[in-house]
Structure 1
Amino acid sequence: MTTELAGGWTQFDYEITSAARAVFKEATAEIIGVTYTPSAFATQVVAGTNYCFLCTAQVAHPVVSPYPALVSIFKPLSGKAHVSEITRIKPQ
């Protein structure tokens, strides 16, 4: 993973670290109806840490196909991580 600079985003890392996985699990634990499986993540150091996870989303419905999504999470310096945005990725 690239060295973190305050305010700058790292490159996507395709090996999810145990620390990043813990943040993802904490922030998405209460999401119902869609399962997000992360395959890569990037971070941005601010007053805490912003995470951007590249995920495969699967709706809990047999007819809906999986789709790619970005899950943005903020982990404050103290306190619980929370989802700040989920964006479905569509072809351009």
Structure 2
Amino acid sequence: MAENTMPGGWSEYHDLTAEDRAVFYEALEGFVGVNYIPSVVSTQVVAGMNYKYKCIASIPPSDVNWETIIEIFEPLEGKPHIVSIARI
């Protein structure tokens, strides 16, 4: 796992681990309309875990793609959920 630059800080963006992918897909379960493919992630330890996923987004059947940042919070107990989605 990438090291934080300071306590409570965000890690550098890095390739997704199996756990990062599981959190991403659990948070987006049931989300329809746009396809998101995560490429890298940055994490922040809080009372749980914050994730910033850089993704490629598209709306099928269009071939148009754009980049997004999806922020997800995984609480200490309970299901991870989307905090925000921003086009970059």
1:1-34 per-position Cα deviation (integer Å, ceiling 9, x unaligned): 4324542100000x21000000001001111010
List alignment gaps of at least 5 residues for structure 2: none
List alignment gaps of at least 5 residues for structure 1: none
Contact 2:10 2:43 in 1 (8 A): yes
Contact 1:6 1:44 in 2 (8 A): no
Contact 1:6 1:46 in 2 (8 A): no
What does residue range 5-44 of structure 1 map to in structure 2 within 5 Å? 6-13=7-14, 15-44=15-44
Calculate the aligned-residue CA RMSD, in Å.
1.4
- TM-score w.r.t. length of structure 1: 0.87
CA positional deviation for 1:78: 0.6
Contact 1:38 1:56 in 2 (8 A): yes
Q: Secondary structure at the match of 1:8?
A: coil
Structure 1 segments (4+ residues) deviating >6 Å: none
Aligned residues between the structures? 87
Q: Distance between the aligned counterparts of 1:61 and 1:87, measured in 2?
A: 21
Give, as a single letter, the amino acid of the residue that structure 1 aligns with 2:16: I
Give, as a single letter, the amino acid of the residue that structure 2 aligns with 1:36: Y
